[in-house]
Chains A and B, each alone.
Chain A
Amino acid sequence: MIRVEGLTKIFKKKNGSEFRAVNDFSFTADSGKIVSLLGVNGAGKTTMLRMLSTVLRPDEGDAILQGYSICKDPAKVRSVIGFLSGDTGLYNRLTPREIITYFGRLYDVPDPEIKDRIRKMSRLLDMEEFLDRKVDLLSTGMKQKVSICRSIIHNPPIMIFDEPTAGLDILTARTIVSFIHQCREDGKCILFSTHIMREAERIADKIEMIHKGKLLAEGTLSEFRAETGFEDLDDIFVHYVNKHQLLAEEVSADEY
Chain B
Amino acid sequence: MSIKKILIVFRKELLDLFRDRRTIISSVVLPIILYPVLMIGFNALMSRQTVKLHEQEVIIYVIDNAGDEYSQIAFERLEKTPKLQIFQEIDHYKVLFKEKVIQAIVTFEREELYDEFYYLNARITFNRVDEKSELAYNTVSRVLQDLEKELVGSRLEAINISEDILKAVEVEADNVATEQQTLGMILARFLPYFLILISISGSSVAAVDLVAGEKERGTLETILVSAASRMELVLGKFVAVISIALLTVLLNLASIFFSFRHLVSQAAAESVAIQIPFGSLFLILILMVPMIIFFAAVVFSFSTYARNMKESYSYTQPLMIVAMLLSLISALPAIETTLGMTLIPVINVSLMIKDIMMGDLNISFFMTTLISTCILVVLAVSFSIKLFSKEEILFRTTEDTEIIDKNKRGLRVLSSKFATLFFILILLLFYYLGLSWQIADLESGLIKTLILLVFLPTLLIIKIGRLSFKEVLSLKFTRASNYLLILLASIPIFILVTLLSQIINIIYPFPEQYLENFQNLYFLEGRTFLYSLFIIALLPGIVEEVMFRGYFIKAFREKGIWNSIVISAILFAILHLDIFRFVPVAILGVWMGYLLVKSGSIFLPILAHTANNSLALFIARYGEGIPGIELIVSDDMVAWWTVIPAAILFLVLLAIFEKTNKGFSVA
Contacts and interface: CB of A to CB of B under 8 A. Distances in A.
Interface of A: 11-16, 50, 53-57, 75, 78-79, 81, 83, 85, 87-94, 98, 102-103, 105-108, 134, 150-151, 154
A191 to B, nearest CB: 13
Contact of B8 (A12, A88, A102, A134): A102
Given A91-B16, A107-B226, A134-B19, 13 more contacts: A15-B402, A53-B224, A55-B224, A55-B395, A79-B227, A83-B225, A85-B221, A88-B218, A89-B214, A92-B217, A98-B15, A106-B8, A150-B222
Nearest to A82: B225
Contacts of A85: 218, 221
Interface size on B, as a range, is: 20 to 34
Interface string B206-247: 000000001001110111111111000000000000000000
A53 B217 contact: no
B8 A107 contact: no
A49 to B, nearest CB: 10
A210 B395 CA distance: 22
B220 to A, nearest CB: 8
Interface of B: 5, 8-9, 12, 15-16, 19-20, 214, 217-219, 221-229, 391-392, 395, 400-402, 558
A106 B217 contact: no
Contacts of A78: 225-227
A98 to B, nearest CB: 7
Contacts of B221: 50, 55, 83, 85, 88
Contact of B228 (A14, A53, A93, A106): A106
A15 B401 CA distance: 10
B344 to A, nearest CB: 35
A90 B217 CA distance: 7
Nearest to B415: A15
B218 A89 contact: yes
9 contacts: A12-B392, A13-B402, A15-B402, A53-B224, A55-B221, A56-B395, A94-B15, A94-B16, A102-B12
A98 B13 CA distance: 12
A242 B87 CA distance: 103
A53 B16 CA distance: 26
B229 A83 contact: no
Contacts of B223: 106
A75 B230 CA distance: 10
Given A83-B222, A89-B217, A93-B16, A154 B227 contact: yes
A81 B15 CA distance: 27
Contacts of A106: 5, 8-9, 223, 226-228
B391 A57 contact: yes
A53 B395 CA distance: 14
B225 A55 contact: yes
A94 B19 contact: yes
Contacts of A16: 558
B308 to A, nearest CB: 13
Contacts of B224: 53, 55
A38 B392 CA distance: 25
A124 to B, nearest CB: 21
B29 to A, nearest CB: 17
A108 B223 CA distance: 14
Nearest to A160: B225
Contacts of A75: 227, 229
B402 A87 contact: no
A77 to B, nearest CB: 10
A196 to B, nearest CB: 20
Contact of A54 (B5, B19, B225, B402): B225
A161 to B, nearest CB: 12
A136 B334 CA distance: 54
B12 A89 contact: no
